[in-house]
């Protein structure tokens, strides 16, 4: 981010989610004194600068979409270049310009949350419901170092509803909302509630939601098995302000008793988390100080839903904990300096309990035991405004990533060396697990990476109707625990379980993996009318070279006892390999005019290519896609007709035996009617023409494979037509 021309002090704060509350005050007072007298009432729509490469999505822009989906990640679909690896109903993995999942830095209210599952079933955005959101900031490619770290593709910062305070000392304000909705396809019933009470200096808010979704039907009316889910989220948010200080303390807990994953062998049968998040923000003579300390614990379990058949208990116990310190100071009238320090520590136990009277026993299978991943980072970022037209940002970040794990063991041998035998066990499984576990345990598991990120960007605003940005960056991501430490070469029982790609291949890790380093060049041209009200055209070409991209090759491990696996699938080994990703994002809007209300068209087009240096295509690269929205706004009635067009996926990864998908076009209609100040009715039809289509990034449907008959799995079916309705009442 580079400062805007109208106020360097506004820019000073604009990148820090915590600081948004202070933005208004700083804009008006900071020119005379950096010390604010009183914290303002926090408004959702407060001045928020757009991010340089990416987008800010505010609450108001989520409104007509809010009940169409339970998956917070999918609210990002309006950002050009963003797509999704789909899986469970609330756990899709966002992709920015071809880079997905752990390659993005995703923070929920400033907390870094790791997917604590060998299938990445519980990514950060699955812990917050769309109804709890205030704002999402998306940064693509050239991410400010203050927002990045341990990521190469971009950053997504989501912020939940912010505390509100009463204006007068003696006043006590209360507010709240109750919403409920129903979606026909999948018989989805959802509700959310929010209640707040606040004085001039203290505030307390409860927010919660629940959703029960059945299996959805595809466009031909056939059920997609194991696509159902049930989610409950709760959060209690406390805030206290005192002159120039703001303290917040949030407690959140989640219970997902069920979330099916049609594109995995496994399904989520239990996910309970508890998070504590305490933050302080203070305004000092020298600038703004923001600090945060947080912890989230999660217990996660998997098994196989009856419609997919089989049994295999899997269990995860994990925690994320960390702190963040950020100081922001206007060191001269033209220069703003940020200094920051962050620590993040992730711990993981990932074991698969023995199943009595089966070959999965008599001991538990230890996939990762005592896994630790600790990141410690220091960074500095300088914003400089040269004149009304030109501003720059320079950033440097140094991050140490330390990882370690304990010894492991398969179903038949325990870590203490005892070797179990039982009726019906397979001598092949015995042998393969023992060979691999012994080899892994003989190695030193400790790794230490020292990662350096650098960014430089410039913004040039020649006049009120044009803005140009250019940025270059070096970004680094260290491997995750499963990429380094999963150890069993056995494909069917172990390798297939360590898969967060939805492709039903088998994966095994490598301790020797190096961090991946991306060099990015990105430019944006933004043309619009002088008031930025009537039309806008934005084009962003980008080019990334990734050194040591974590890719795969066929597993050539000589272990002779490797079992068979699903027909047409591959046994793969993680490797470092150089890769390139490049493409262009285009977006625009045009106000058509007035005819019984306001009419506007908006559109996004995204194109990306990804190849590895051996000439293969990278996996799950979204084909050319476009979105056109015709929006109508007539005071109390807001409607949109959206067309989503996706080309066929022709360029596929050979090493992953990726399957092609055909192109398709979908039409969605959504409407919001403000029945009164307090009551809103939402109506919509998703996939209006009930088109049957295959998800280009959905992977393969597990249940479509037939092991006995040697039938390979086929691509994942998308959801058919759904008629949706929701009611929202403010009080």
Q: List residues binding Cu ion (CB under 5 A).
A: 117, 119, 121, 302
As given in the structure block, the two tokens for residue 514 are: 């190096």
Closest approach of Cu ion to the CB of residue 500, in Å: 9
Closest approach of Cu ion to the CB of residue 73, in Å: 17
Residues whose CB is less than 8 angstroms from the CB of residue 356 and which lie 6 or more positions away in sequence, other chains included: none
Whose Cβ is closer to Cu ion: residue 397's or residue 482's?
Answer: 482
Distance, in Å, from the CA atom of 464 to the CA atom of 534, rounded to the nearest integer, reads 13
Closest approach of Cu ion to the CB of residue 271, in Å: 8
Residue ranges of E strands in 595-721 = 598-612, 625-634, 637-646, 664-674, 679-686
Closest approach of Cu ion to the CB of residue 120, in Å: 8
Whose Cβ is closer to Cu ion: residue 154's or residue 313's?
Answer: 313
Nearest residue (beta carbon) to Cu ion: 117
Q: What are phi and psi of 103, to 5 degrees?
A: -80, -5
Whose Cβ is closer to Cu ion: residue 116's or residue 666's?
Answer: 116
Whose Cβ is closer to Cu ion: residue 121's or residue 518's?
Answer: 121
Closest approach of Cu ion to the CB of residue 92, in Å: 15
Whose Cβ is closer to Cu ion: residue 121's or residue 158's?
Answer: 121
Closest approach of Cu ion to the CB of residue 119, in Å: 5
Closest approach of Cu ion to the CB of residue 483, in Å: 16
Q: Is the peptide bond before 362 cis (omega within 30 degrees of 0)?
A: yes
Catalogue the long-range contacts made by 273-276 (C-beta closer than 8 Å, 24 or more residues apart): 273/122, 273/127, 273/297, 273/298, 273/299, 275/111, 275/113, 275/127, 275/250, 275/251, 276/249, 276/250, 276/251
Contact (CB, 8 A) for 71 and 213: no
As given in the structure block, the two tokens for residue 282 are: 């203070």
Closest approach of Cu ion to the CB of residue 126, in Å: 11
Contact (CB, 8 A) for 218 and 720: yes
Closest approach of Cu ion to the CB of residue 305, in Å: 13
Closest approach of Cu ion to the CB of residue 312, in Å: 11
Whose Cβ is closer to Cu ion: residue 268's or residue 606's?
Answer: 268
Closest approach of Cu ion to the CB of residue 266, in Å: 6
Closest approach of Cu ion to the CB of residue 728, in Å: 33
Closest approach of Cu ion to the CB of residue 231, in Å: 15
Closest approach of Cu ion to the CB of residue 315, in Å: 9
Closest approach of Cu ion to the CB of residue 669, in Å: 35
As given in the structure block, the two tokens for residue 174 are: 């209360």
Whose Cβ is closer to Cu ion: residue 117's or residue 461's?
Answer: 117
Q: What are phi and psi of 130, to 5 degrees?
A: -55, -35
Contact (CB, 8 A) for 451 and 403: no
The candidate with the shortest Cα–Cα distance to 209, out of 254, 158, 244, is 254
Whose Cβ is closer to Cu ion: residue 257's or residue 525's?
Answer: 257
Contact (CB, 8 A) for 465 and 527: yes
Distance, in Å, from the CA atom of 567 to the CA atom of 556, rounded to the nearest integer, reads 18
Whose Cβ is closer to Cu ion: residue 315's or residue 578's?
Answer: 315
Instruction: Tell me the helix, strand and coil percentages in the chain, rounded to 5.
Output: 10, 50, 40
Q: What are phi and psi of 308, to 5 degrees?
A: -100, -20
User: Tokens 């691999």 belong to which residue?
Assistant: 436
- Name the β-bridge partners of 296: 275, 320
C-alpha pair distances (Å), 121 with each of 483, 595, 700: 16, 47, 16
Whose Cβ is closer to Cu ion: residue 328's or residue 367's?
Answer: 367
User: Tokens 């209640």 belong to which residue?
Assistant: 195
Distance, in Å, from the CA atom of 411 to the CA atom of 395, rounded to the nearest integer, reads 49
Whose Cβ is closer to Cu ion: residue 67's or residue 85's?
Answer: 85
- Name the β-bridge partners of 560: none
Whose Cβ is closer to Cu ion: residue 120's or residue 477's?
Answer: 120
Contact (CB, 8 A) for 153 and 520: no
Whose Cβ is closer to Cu ion: residue 267's or residue 283's?
Answer: 267
Distance, in Å, from the CA atom of 200 to the CA atom of 189, rounded to the nearest integer, reads 37
Whose Cβ is closer to Cu ion: residue 122's or residue 457's?
Answer: 122
Q: What are phi and psi of 511, to 5 degrees?
A: -60, -30
Whose Cβ is closer to Cu ion: residue 302's or residue 646's?
Answer: 302
Residues whose CB is less than 8 angstroms from the CB of residue 362 and which lie 6 or more positions away in sequence, other chains included: 354, 411, 412, 420, 421, 422
Q: DSSP letters along 315-371, please?
A: EEEEEEEEEEEEEEEE-SSSEEEEEEEEEEEEEEEEEE---TTSSS-SSPEEEEEEE
Helix (H, G, I), strand (E, B) or coil at 623: coil
């Amino acid at each position: 981010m580079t400062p805007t021309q109208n106020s360097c002090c506004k820019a000073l704060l604009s990148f820090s989610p915590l600081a948004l509350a202070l933005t208004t005050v700083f804009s008006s007072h900071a020119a005379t004194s950096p010390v604010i007298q009183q914290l303002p009432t926090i408004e959702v729509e407060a001045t928020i600068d757009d991010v340089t490469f990416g987008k800010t999505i505010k609450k108001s822009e989520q409104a007509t979409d809010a009940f169409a989906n339970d998956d917070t990640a999918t609210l990002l679909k309006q950002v050009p270049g963003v797509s999704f690896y789909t899986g469970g109903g609330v756990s899709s993995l966002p992709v920015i310009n071809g880079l997905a999942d752990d390659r993005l830095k995703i923070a929920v209210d400033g907390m870094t949350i790791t997917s604590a599952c060998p299938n990445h079933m519980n990514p950060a955005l699955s812990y917050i419901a769309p109804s709890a959101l205030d704002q999402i900031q998306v940064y693509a490619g050239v991410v400010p170092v203050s927002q990045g770290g341990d990521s190469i593709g971009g950053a997504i910062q989501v912020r939940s509803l912010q505390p509100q305070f009463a204006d007068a000392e003696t006043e006590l304000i209360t507010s709240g909302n109750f919403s409920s909705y129903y979606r026909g396809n999948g018989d989805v019933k959802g509700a959310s509630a929010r209640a707040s009470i606040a004085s001039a200096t203290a505030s307390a808010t409860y927010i919660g939601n629940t959703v029960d979704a059945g299996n959805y039907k595809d466009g031909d009316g056939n059920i997609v098995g194991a696509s159902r889910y049930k989610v409950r989220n709760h959060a209690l948010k406390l805030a206290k302000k005192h002159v120039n200080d703001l303290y917040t303390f949030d407690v959140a807990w989640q219970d997902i008793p069920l979330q099916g994953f049609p594109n995995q062998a496994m399904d989520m049968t239990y996910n309970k988390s508890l998070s504590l998040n305490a933050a302080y923000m203070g305004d000092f003579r020298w600038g703004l100080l923001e600090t945060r300390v947080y912890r989230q614990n999660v217990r996660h379990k998997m098994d196989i839903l009856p419609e997919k058949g089989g049994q295999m208990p899997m269990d995860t116990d994990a925690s994320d904990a960390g702190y963040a310190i950020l100081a922001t100071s206007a060191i001269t009238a033209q220069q703003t300096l940020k200094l920051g320090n962050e620590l993040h520590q992730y711990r993981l136990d990932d074991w698969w309990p023995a199943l009595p009277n089966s070959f999965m026993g008599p001991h538990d299978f230890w996939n990762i035991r005592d896994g630790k991943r600790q990141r410690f980072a220091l960074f500095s970022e300088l914003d400089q405004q040269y004149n009304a037209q030109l501003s720059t940002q320079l950033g440097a970040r140094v991050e140490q990533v330390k990882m370690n794990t304990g010894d492991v063991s398969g179903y038949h041998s325990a870590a203490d060396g005892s070797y179990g035998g039982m009726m019906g066990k397979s001598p092949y499984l015995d042998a393969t697990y023992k060979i691999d576990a012994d080899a892994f345990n003989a190695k030193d598991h400790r790794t230490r990476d020292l990662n350096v990120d650098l960014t430089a960007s410039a913004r040039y605003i020649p006049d009120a109707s044009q803005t140009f940005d250019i940025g270059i960056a070096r970004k680094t991501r260290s491997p995750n625990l499963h990429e380094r430490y999963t150890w069993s070469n056995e494909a069917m029982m172990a390798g297939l379980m360590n898969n967060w790609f939805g492709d039903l291949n088998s994966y095994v890790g490598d301790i020797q993996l190096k961090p991946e380093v991306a060099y990015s060049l990105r430019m944006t041209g933004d043309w619009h009318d002088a008031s930025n009200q009537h039309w806008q055209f934005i084009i962003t070409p980008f080019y990334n070279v990734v050194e040591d991209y974590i890719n795969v090759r066929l597993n050539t491990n000589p272990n002779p006892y490797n079992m068979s696996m699903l027909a047409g699938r591959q046994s793969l080994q993680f490797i470092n390999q150089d890769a390139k990703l490049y493409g262009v994002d285009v977006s625009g809007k045009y106000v058509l005019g007035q005819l019984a209300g306001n009419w506007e068209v908006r559109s996004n087009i995204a194109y990306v290519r990804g190849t590895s240096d051996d000439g293969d295509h990278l996996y799950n690269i979204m084909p050319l896609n476009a979105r056109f929205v015709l929006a109508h706004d007539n005071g109390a009635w807001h409607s949109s007709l959206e067309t989503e067009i996706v080309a066929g996926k022709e360029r596929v990864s050979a090493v992953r035996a990726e399957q092609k998908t055909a192109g398709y076009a979908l039409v969605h209609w959504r409407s919001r009617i403000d029945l009164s100040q307090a009551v809103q009715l939402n109506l919509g039809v998703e996939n209006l023409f009930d088109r049957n289509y295959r998800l280009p990034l959905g992977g393969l449907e597990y249940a479509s494979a037939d092991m006995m008959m040697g039938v390979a799995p086929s691509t994942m079916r998308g959801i058919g037509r759904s008629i949706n309705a929701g009611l929202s009442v403010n009080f």
